[in-house]
Structure 1
Amino acid sequence: MTPIPETNPPTEVRMAEIVFPNHTNHMGTLFGGQALAWMDKAAFLAAARYSRRTVVTARSDQVDFKLPIRVGQMVETIGRVVRVGRSSMTVEVELVTEDLHSGERKLCTKGTFVMIALDAEGQPTTVPALPRQD
């Protein structure tokens, strides 16, 4: 198979999950900790994929739980690299539910994560600048 050359590093990751009872509280809605774990994973993947480096979470900011996520719903977790510093990447993450029967989608949770790229010795290292959006 011939590799596909990358012109610009990818800035987005999408993951899908189904909410099972073991992901929920006594009210049948997604545990906040589970939502944060999925969000951190998407932030990690988006930043690592963009930088092609090992990355770690430095900070999570302003996570807003707008709507409950219920057992049986599909959840799409979308992580987008939106800002880049010398070694840091800011990743916006959204949890969007989708009703598998009707196709109705709703933004339920949104947050921002700051990820740091590391070199082979575990020290912060530079990452490429974001491509210009004209």
Structure 2
Amino acid sequence: MQITSKPARESYTVMNELVLPNDTNPLHNLMGGRLLHLMDIAAAISAQKHSNHIVVTASVDNVSFKQPVKLGDVITINAKVTRAFRTSMEVRIEVWSENIPSGSKIKSNEAYYTFVALDGDGKPAVIPELLPETEEEKHLFDTAQSRRELRLIVAGKMKPEEASHLKAIFFPEE
């Protein structure tokens, strides 16, 4: 039986990781590539929970490293699907860094990843619609189409004049 819709909360994923010496650069900060790897894993788990399929990463939005993550910190990665399209879905990731002995906790960064669900033959699979329930989920759902159009334009898969949601933002009277 094909599930037609699922609430966003069912895709919620939390991943924790202790930053060890092998994960750091000479400044004893978590290497950016290592963090991107962990973010991709957490986001993929979230996408699989929503789609009930194997997923592949289609795109990663701009990731800015706002605060360094130090050796010995614990990172917590929160991931949740914000919108599902026909075969793809957007996942929002937040990364928190915590120094347990001092009790300090900071938001290191956030990003949006896009995944495509695949069937057993490696072809794109139709996925359930997303049901946003909270005000934040509804806001992220409503703004996801604009982010998607921007991604497609940057990737050269959509012409700017075809972007209906972005056009409404920049040219509201048309």
TM-score by length of 2: 0.70
**C-alpha RMSD over aligned residues:** 1.4
Higher deviation after alignment, 30-39 or 94-103 = 94-103
Match of 2:117 in 1: 117
User: What are the residue-to-residue correspondences of 1:23-102 with 2, within 5 Å?
Assistant: 23-102=23-102
After the TM superposition, list the runs of 4 or more consecutive aligned residues in structure 1 that deviate by more than 6 angstroms.
Answer: none
- More relative contact order in 1 or in 2 (CA 8 Å, sep 6+)? 1
Match of 2:150 in 1: none
Gaps of 5+ in 1: 1-6
Find the aligned partners of 2:57 and 2:42 in 1 and give their Cα distance. 11
* Residues in 1 aligned to 2:41 and 2:82: alpha-carbon distance in whole angstroms: 16
Q: Is the 8 A contact 2:58 2:116 kept in 1?
A: yes
CA distance in 1, matches of 2:85, 2:70: 37
Deviations 1:13-62 (A, max 9, x none): 00100000100000000101001000000110000011111100011111
- Please identify the structure whose Cα radius of gyration is greater: 2
Which structure shows the bigger proportion of residues in helix conformation?
Answer: 2
- Opposite residue 66 of structure 1, the aligned amino acid is K
Return the alpha-carbon distance in structure 2 between the equivalents of residues 24 and 71 of structure 1: 7
SS at match of 2:131: coil
Using the TM superposition, give the Cα deviation of residue 8 of structure 1 relative to its aligned residue in structure 2, in angstroms.
4.3
> How far 1:107 moved relative to its partner?
0.5
Structure 1 counterpart of 2:80, which letter? Answer: R
Determine if contact 2:7/2:133 at 8 Å carries over to the other structure: no
Paired residue total: 128
Letter in 1 for 2:65: F
What TM-score, normalized to structure 1? Answer: 0.90
Q: 1:130 — aligned with what?
A: 130
Mapped to 1, the partners of 2:132 and 2:20 lie a distance apart of: 40
